[in-house]
Amino acid sequence: MDIVWKIVNFIILFGALYLICRKMNLFDKMFGSRRRGISEDIQSSENAVRQAQELGADIEKANELNEKRKEELMQGAAKQAEVSRAAIAASGEEEAKAIIQNAEKSEEQLMEEMRSRVSANAVRQVAAITGQVLRNGSFESSKQALNDRFIEQIKELVSAMPSDILNMNELKKLDISIKSAEPLSEEEMNRLTQIICETFISCRNEVDSELIGGVRMQVGDTVYDGTLAHTLDRLSMDVENNTRQSDKEMQSIAEGIKQQLEKVSGDIDVFQTGEVITLGDGICRVSGLADVMAGEMLEFEGGLKGMVQDLEKDNVGVVLLGPYSHIQEGDSVRRTGRIIEVPVGESMIGRVVDAMGNPIDGKGPIKNEGFRPVESPAPSVLSRKPVSVPMQTGLKAIDALVPIGRGQRELIIGDRQTGKTAIALDAIINQKDTGVICIYVAIGQKESTIAGVVDKLRSFGAMDYTIVVAAPASSPAPMLYIAPYAGAAMGEYFMYKGRDVLIIYDDLSKQAAAYRELSLLLQRPPGREAYPGDVFYLHSRLLERAARLSDEAGGGSMTALPIIETQAGDISAYIPTNVISITDGQIFLESDLFHSGVRPAINVGLSVSRVGGAAQIGAMKQVAGRLRVDLAQYRELASFAQFGSDLDKSTRYTLHRGVRMTEILKQGQYAPMNAADQVIEIFAASEGYTDDLEPEDITRFGAELVDYVNRTYPELRGEILSGKKMSAEQQAKLRECIESFKKTFG
């Protein structure tokens, strides 16, 4: 048994030893792989440390290089800054001053606008708070004093208007309403009744606590308002209107409020009111206002202005001059008693304004010197004198063939994209340093186009003497309709002060279309009473205002250049024939000439100036005498010569000369010429000095000839501009200069 037990123990011990050995082998394998992994990690770490050390060394080198580069750049920048400062000190000081001045002006304008807006808002708040305090307060004695004062003043103010007399004759009565903050006593009502008259049998008294204090009486459409509520409302409106027009005296909010409060008095405000009954498309109908005048300016809520355009028995048609989205049916409308008017004055020069004279160029408000009605009578025949002083356009083809005089009305007519506006702008640019005030009225054009015109005028320095009246295509029809009249009113201000004015209407075709829209919206019958019948009067009363005044009337002048757009060259259409019959001549631009490269594309046969040589300087009249006839013959022959090749010598000579005369009259845009330079070129061509030149060399020949003559014969310019004809001696000397130049011309 012991042996068995020993054998079992040995087996167990051997098994245990075997298992332990197996485990030891596993441990060896496991720990061996772990040791190998650790050794590999240690090796990787050592490699990473080595790489980090190398990278650190590279970074240090890069930092050193960057520091060196930085020092070099700083030194270069310092040198460049020093050079720049020297350059600015040498050449840019004036420009820097101009920039600073412009910045100061802009800041000043912004501050003025902010002061104005804050002042208006502050006064409105003061008025609202004052009204609230007065409504909640107790001042019976003051209210009674207001009532007594109203009754005393109404004796002198109350009167029957024409519409009141008509109502009394037809209805045998006149309704009168009296509103007061508190019920009037029987004695007060009797006093008012005696003042008004026993005939006014329908007289009633209403109590309205919103009036605060005082009495408001309405006789028909006429309101006699002596209430505190109305006084506060008018105060707020007056401040807002004044601050919109640049009150430079308002040095502070408190000062602005003080100035307006000093103007407040307890006098009765007498006005007539009506009520909006229909509204739409820039047109509204207003009931009441039985005594309103045609063309009168009305006031709507929110400061919107309107012009009375249509008079009917029960209502009036009003065109709205501005955004009208806030207007609703039932709103009150107030008469102003003034015909529609626009601001005028020297401060308008250089600005871009809308049809009502409000600035739209972002340069702040305009301090105007007064107002003029947009519609005013044209000067009488006795107030005018003949047109005899040239209005130089700087264009050879116009100054030589269809001259324009100061006080003349010359129509520019042609299809779309034939250079009509280009002629007008060249004429404006050519008035620099002549003392002529220019007004450019843009009607129905894109805003981008108008902005381009303004930029072009500014780049040539022409905005220093130009006013731009803009009524873009996005404006409502009433603004397009009124814009030309507004421009004419601004020009008349200078004309009646003895100044010379050039006004461009670009273009009246769009004004006629806007007037047609207004007429149809006002439900006028198409025909004689509306479009197209009334368009003749629309344009005639505008263009007749252009004139040259006699010395007794002031001696100024206003030259009008209206522009009309034709359809496919049809100058026999209704509007073109109307304006042709009103004006003193027309410049007809032809599409075929324009596309063939003749610029300006003036059709000599259809263009005419009824003033003629009376508006030309003597030298121009002398050298351009036969130019018109020669060109007309050339154009006529050229149209027939294309059908046959067998031409006689005379015809070939006429065609040969006509080609060169046409070339000499070509002129680039924005390049107006002095009158003396024009005479030199036309003289050379008419005397045959260009007959042997190739057509493509004519333009260069003319430009170089003018430079040569002005250098060798400098006194000729003054002699030509004196207005006298060239003497035989002067002509001989000019021929000698041309012949001498031609020998050197290659």
Q: Is the pLDDT of residue 728 over 50?
A: yes
| Upstream peptide bond of 534 is cis (omega within 30 degrees of 0) | no
How confident is the model over 335-373, as pLDDT tens digits? Answer: 998 999 999 999 999 999 999 999 999 888 998 889 999
Q: Is the pLDDT of residue 32 over 60?
A: no
In this predicted model, which residue has the larger pLDDT, 193 or 26? 193
pLDDT at position 9, please?
Answer: 61
pLDDT band, very low/low/confident/very high, at 564 (cuts 50, 70, 90): very high
Q: Is the pLDDT of residue 628 over 50?
A: yes
Q: Is the pLDDT of residue 480 over 60?
A: yes
Please work out, in degrees rounded to the nearest 5, the angle formed at the alpha carbon of residue 658 by the alpha carbons of 626 and 564.
80
Q: Is the pLDDT of residue 198 over 50?
A: no
Tell me the average pLDDT across 209-216: 70
pLDDT band, very low/low/confident/very high, at 197 (cuts 50, 70, 90): low
The alpha carbon torsion through 219, 222, 228, 234 (nearest 10 deg) reads: 170
Categorise residue 370: left if φ over 0, alpha if ψ from -120 to 50, beta otherwise: left
**Positive or negative CA dihedral for 665, 668, 670, 676?**
negative
Is 599 an annotated catalytic residue? no
Tell me the average pLDDT across 296-325: 91
- What is the pTM for the complete model shown? 0.74
Candidate from 176-185, 245-254, 370-379, 392-401 with smallest mean pLDDT: 245-254
User: Which of 124, 610, 628, 635 is an active site residue?
Assistant: 610
Buried b (16+ CB within 10 A) or exposed e, 312-350: eeebbbbbbbbebeebeeebebebbeebbbbbbbeebbb
pLDDT at position 201, please?
Answer: 46
Residue located via tokens 């050339």:
634
How confident is the model over 235-273, as pLDDT tens digits? Answer: 666 655 554 444 444 444 455 555 544 554 556 778 888
Distance CA 222, CA 335 (A): 10
Distance CA 228, CA 212 (A): 6
Q: Is the pLDDT of residue 49 over 60?
A: no
Contacts of 465 (CB under 8 A, 6+ apart): 349, 350, 431, 432, 436, 437, 438
- Other CB atoms within 10 Å distance of the CB of residue 152: 11
Tell me the average pLDDT across 179-184: 75
pLDDT band, very low/low/confident/very high, at 168 (cuts 50, 70, 90): low
**What is the percent of the chain where pLDDT is above 90?**
45
Distances from the Cα of 611 to the Cα of 380, 583, 602, 615, angstroms: 19, 11, 18, 6
**What is the percent of the chain where pLDDT is above 70?**
68
Distance CA 297, CA 341 (A): 8
Report the candidate in 189, 199, 215 with the shortest Cα–Cα distance to residue 164. 199
DSSP string over 319-354: EE-S--TT--TT-EEEEEEEE-EEEESGGGTT-EE-
DSSP string over 462-526: GGGGEEEEEE-TTS-HHHHHHHHHHHHHHHHHHHTTT-EEEEEEETHHHHHHHHHHHHHHTTPPS
Q: Is the pLDDT of residue 666 over 50?
A: yes
Distance CA 119, CA 255 (A): 9
Distance CA 711, CA 705 (A): 10
Give alpha helix (H) positions in 666-727: 675-686, 698-712, 715-721
Structure tokens at 235: 């105060």
In this predicted model, which residue has the larger pLDDT, 224 or 341? 341
Q: Are 649 and 439 in contact (CB under 8 A)?
A: no
In this predicted model, which residue has the larger pLDDT, 363 or 211? 363
Please provide residue 72's backbone torsions phi and psi, each rounded to the nearest 5 degrees: -65, -45
Tell me the average pLDDT across 650-661: 87
Categorise residue 242: left if φ over 0, alpha if ψ from -120 to 50, beta otherwise: alpha
pLDDT band, very low/low/confident/very high, at 330 (cuts 50, 70, 90): very high
State the average pLDDT for the chain: 80
Q: Which of 83-92, 336-345, 626-635 has the highest mean pLDDT?
A: 336-345
- Other CB atoms within 10 Å distance of the CB of residue 113: 15
pLDDT band, very low/low/confident/very high, at 525 (cuts 50, 70, 90): confident
pLDDT at position 381, please?
Answer: 93
Contacts of 530 (CB under 8 A, 6+ apart): 516, 519, 520, 524
pLDDT at position 34, please?
Answer: 54
Tell me the average pLDDT across 570-590: 93
Structure tokens at 343: 């601001």
pLDDT at position 155, please?
Answer: 65
pLDDT at position 506, please?
Answer: 93
In this predicted model, which residue has the larger pLDDT, 545 or 8? 545
Identify the helix (H) or strand (E) that includes residue 283.
strand 283-288
Q: Is the pLDDT of residue 19 over 80?
A: no
Structure tokens at 193: 């009744």
Distance CA 610, CA 707 (A): 34
What length is written for the chain?
A: 746
Tell me the average pLDDT across 220-227: 73
Distance CA 506, CA 565 (A): 9
Q: Is the pLDDT of residue 637 over 90?
A: no
Please provide residue 624's backbone torsions phi and psi, each rounded to the nearest 5 degrees: -100, 15
In single-letter form, the type of residue at position 5 comes to: W
Q: How many separate helices (H) and strands (E) can be counted in the chain?
A: 22, 20
In this predicted model, which residue has the larger pLDDT, 626 or 58? 626
Q: Which of 3-12, 321-330, 464-473 has the highest mean pLDDT?
A: 464-473
pLDDT at position 319, please?
Answer: 93
pLDDT band, very low/low/confident/very high, at 291 (cuts 50, 70, 90): confident
Tell me the average pLDDT across 126-151: 62
Candidate from 121-135, 145-159, 317-331, 416-430 with smallest mean pLDDT: 121-135
Structure tokens at 660: 């060169």
pLDDT at position 88, please?
Answer: 45
pLDDT at position 46, please?
Answer: 62
pLDDT at position 483, please?
Answer: 97
pLDDT at position 676, please?
Answer: 93
pLDDT at position 55, please?
Answer: 56
| Upstream peptide bond of 478 is cis (omega within 30 degrees of 0) | no
Q: Is the pLDDT of residue 414 over 90?
A: yes
pLDDT at position 625, please?
Answer: 80
Candidate from 27-41, 168-182, 205-219, 718-732 with smallest mean pLDDT: 27-41
Q: Are 521 and 515 in contact (CB under 8 A)?
A: no
Distance CA 507, CA 483 (A): 11
pLDDT at position 731, please?
Answer: 92
Give alpha helix (H) positions in 158-215: 162-171, 186-196
Tell me the average pLDDT across 683-695: 91
Tell me the average pLDDT across 61-78: 65
Tell me the average pLDDT across 684-691: 91
pLDDT at position 392, please?
Answer: 95
How confident is the model over 112-130, as pLDDT tens digits? Answer: 554 454 455 555 666 566 5
